[in-house]
Amino acid sequence: MKTTPLYFRPCGQAADRVSETLPTGVAAVWGAALFDGLMGSPGAPGHDQRLRPCGHGEWIDLICASTRYLAPLWTCCRRFWPPGAPADGAFEADVVRPFGELLGYHLVLHQGQWPSDTEAEAVIHDLVTAFFNRYPSGPSAPA
């Protein structure tokens, strides 16, 4: 049986760190993780149903609008990604998905308004820094 190469993958391969733009294969995984967090807040059952009346039309509209945060996530994390950090999906589970969850809370609490770029980038920076501080080498770039 012939296997298909895995085009969609978690971030962390050596080639990722040199790419100035978010690799397409990573973008697909990050988009899914972001939307999973946006829709599935474990601390707030029915969270996804509260998002519907926020004026974002169909779910695809919400998905497309949320992707604006993928580039800032990429810009921040590639500065910090140390050699030897795992490419096992931990970043997606511990940073991208929780960021999506926070976006969902923000939309519900602010009548469907997205956070400002400044607010979003501050949260992204905090999540990324906390993630990479778990490694002995710490972040590889200044805060």
Averaged over successive runs of 10 residues, the pLDDT of the chain (143 residues) comes to 60 77 89 89 62 66 90 89 76 94 88 92 95 66 44
pLDDT at 122: 97
Question: What pLDDT is recorded for position 59?
Answer: 78
pLDDT of residue 18: 77
> Structural domain boundaries of the chain?
24-80+90-134
**Within a 10 A sphere around the Cβ of 78, how many other Cβ atoms?**
19
CA distances from 26 to 16, 48, 81 (A): 9, 24, 14
Whether this prediction's pTM lies above 0.95 is answered by: no
